[in-house]
Amino acid sequence: MNTSIKVRKINWLFISTVVIPTLLSIIYFGFIASDVYISESRFVVRSPDKQSSSPFSSFLKGTGFSSSQDDSYTVKDYMLSRDALNLLNDKLSIQEVYSSNTVDIFNRFAGLTFWDTSFEALYQYYLNLVEIDLDSDSSITTLIIKSYTAEDAYKINEQLIHISESLVNKLNEVAKSDMIGFATKEVNIAEEKAKAAALALSNYRNQKGVVDPEKQSGVELEQVVKLQNELITAQAKLVQLQTFAKHNPQIPSLELQVKSLEAEIAIQTKQVVGGDQSLAKKAAQYQRLALEREFADKQLASTLASLEIARNEAMRKQLYLERIVQPRKPDKAMAPRRLRGILTSFIMGMIAWGVLSILLAGVREHND
C-alpha cells in the first residue's frame, strides 16, 4: 500500500515538473510561436577632423576621413529614442504592425494587456525589438531589427537608418549655422565700428580744416626753419653794417626785415605749437581718431578672416553616416529555435524533478 502511494506521488511530481512543461513547450513552439525575422545592417559615422587608431579608422584616414565614435553614440541613442519611434510609427505604423493578429498573443504588442496601448508601452516593447551594437575598436555600429515578417524587418531597418541620416544632416546644418552665424555677427559689428571710426575722422577733418596735422605741421616747420635761416642771414648782415658802416642807408631796411621775419616766425610757430587751434593740439585728437579707425579696420579684417575660416571649418567638419552593410530582407526566420526551446524545457524539467525528488526523499527520511 505504501509503495503504491509513493509511486503515485513520484508520478505526480514527474508529470508536474517534466511532462506538463514539455507538452506546453511543444504546443507553444510547435503551434503558437510566430516566426521572427531579423534584418541586419552596419554603418559608421565619420568625420574629417576626428582621429582614431583602429585599423578601420586608419583605412578611412587614407580616404581623408576618420571614424567619429562620439557621434556614433549620438546616433545610437537617437535610434533608441522615443522621437525615432514616433517617426517610425508615423511612416510605417509600427503599432499596427506589431499588434497584428498574425503575431502570437505572447509576443504581440498589448497581446496579454489589452488595456495598455499607450505610446510608453509601445516604446518599452520597441526596445526589445531593436538591438544596436557599437564596436569600440572599429566604431562600426550594427543595427538588428526583429519583426514577424521579412518585409517589416527590412522596412524598419531601412527607415531607421534613413531617419538617422536625416539626424546627422540636421546636426551638420545646426553646427554650420551656429558657426557661420556667430562669425557673420562679429563681422557686422566690426563693420559698424569701422564705419563709425571713419566717419568720426572725416567729421573732425571737416570741422578743424585739416587733412593730416602731422604732415601739415611738418610743412609749417620747414617754413619756420626757412624763415629762421633768412632771419639769421639778415641779422648777421645788420650787425656787420652797424659795426663797420653805421651810416649805411641799408640799416633801416635790414632792421625792418629782421622785425618782419621775427613776426612771421612767431606766427608760423604759433600755428604749429601754440594755442587751441595749433596743429600740435589738433594732432593729438587726430591721432586718437586715426588710431581708432586703424584698430577698427584691423578688427574688421580679422573678423572677415575668421568668417572665411568658419566657412571652411563648417564644410570640413561635416559628419557622414556611411553604410557599410545595407539592410537586407531576410529569407528565413531566425527565431524562435523551436527544437532547442522544447529540449530546454524538457532538460530543465528533468533537473527540477531530480532536485525535488532528492529533497522530498530527504524530508521523508528525516520524518521516519
Res. 3: pLDDT tops 80: no
- Of 145-149, 160-164, 179-183, 322-326, the one with minimum mean pLDDT is 179-183
Please tell me the predicted confidence (pLDDT) of residue 54.
Answer: 47
Which tops the pLDDT comparison, 285 or 190? 190
Interatomic CA distance for residues 232 and 249, integer angstroms: 20
Please tell me the predicted confidence (pLDDT) of residue 150.
Answer: 93
Res. 304: pLDDT tops 60: yes
Q: pLDDT above 90 covers what percent of the chain? A: 29
CB atoms within 10 A of CB 203: 11
Torsional sign, CA 152, 157, 162, 167: positive
Res. 56: pLDDT tops 50: no
Q: In which band, very low, low, confident or very high, does the pLDDT at 14 lie, cut at 50, 70 and 90?
A: confident
Res. 340: pLDDT tops 80: yes
* Residue written as grid cell 510608453: 120
Burial class for 139, CB neighbours closer than 10 Å (0-12, 13-18, 19+)? buried
Q: In which band, very low, low, confident or very high, does the pLDDT at 1 lie, cut at 50, 70 and 90?
A: very low
* Residue written as grid cell 635790414: 254
* Residue written as grid cell 518585409: 151
Res. 156: pLDDT tops 90: yes
Q: Cα 57 to chain center, whole Å? A: 20
Q: In which band, very low, low, confident or very high, does the pLDDT at 186 lie, cut at 50, 70 and 90?
A: confident
- Of 82-91, 323-332, 358-367, the one with minimum mean pLDDT is 358-367
Interatomic CA distance for residues 114 and 126, integer angstroms: 17
Q: In which band, very low, low, confident or very high, does the pLDDT at 247 lie, cut at 50, 70 and 90?
A: low
Res. 343: pLDDT tops 90: yes
The most confident of 127-131, 180-184, 186-190, by mean pLDDT: 127-131
How many CA atoms within 13 Å lie on the side-chain side of 325?
13
Which tops the pLDDT comparison, 235 or 51? 235
Please tell me the predicted confidence (pLDDT) of residue 39.
Answer: 95
Res. 171: pLDDT tops 90: no
Res. 210: pLDDT tops 90: no
Interatomic CA distance for residues 335 and 102, integer angstroms: 16
